[in-house]
Chain A
Amino acid sequence: SQQGEEDPQALSIQEGENATMNCSYKTSINNLQWYRQNSGRGLVHLILIRSNEREKHSGRLRVTLDTSKKSSSLLITASRAADTASYFCATDLYGNKLVFGAGTILRVKS
């Protein structure tokens, strides 16, 4: 069954604004990963946060993880039109598979 659930399902913002996407999951995890998918393309790995980490940064990306609430957030600061894509969280427990959420569609208007 699908474990991760993202919200919002869709988000539309102006260029330069920040975008925040949330992800909830149901079971224990070893790590949580965020991916970006441009329309009709493959997935690009953005960032991985381990279960013993609470926050991680990579460029304009900031990811938080709250294992007590089984939730994570992805913040994209100073968004650009090129950030327009679908964003998925995925959880990994035993290293044998990723469990993906349904994704958030982000549209950044220039």
Chain B
Amino acid sequence: NAGVMQNPRHLVRRRGQEARLRCSPVKGHSHVYWYRQLPEEGLKFMVYLQKENIIDESGMPKERFSAEFPKEGPSILRIQQVVRGDSAAYFCASSPSGGYGYTFGSGTRLTVV
């Protein structure tokens, strides 16, 4: 029973490139959440998705960031035209239902050079 799988673990992008972060939830979990953690800080909510639907994207920057959770396959967090300030650890969590039983992945550490 695998936990939340995120890949890649580490991602280096040059300014202006695109970053794609993938998250496979725990089997049977239909709720996915993305969080961002800057160095020395707590996690900040970005977006909450259920299969094929964005439920809450109140934490997503208005531009360059998008997320999806298709019917088949992993959830994708996409950052276009990355800037140095996007460097952070991005964590995905899943739950069987909203509000309880969160399982977090090990994160993707994005470095923009």
Contact = CB atoms under 8 A, between A and B. Distances in A.
Main secondary structure of the interface of B (DSSP, over half): strand
B111 to A, nearest CB: 13
Interface residues of B, number: 25
Contacts of B43: 43, 88, 90, 98, 100
Nearest to B46: A97
B42 A31 contact: no
B69 interface: no
Contacts of A103: 41-42
A69 to B, nearest CB: 21
B20 to A, nearest CB: 19
Interface of B: 33, 35, 41-45, 48, 55-56, 58-59, 91, 93, 97-100, 102-107, 109
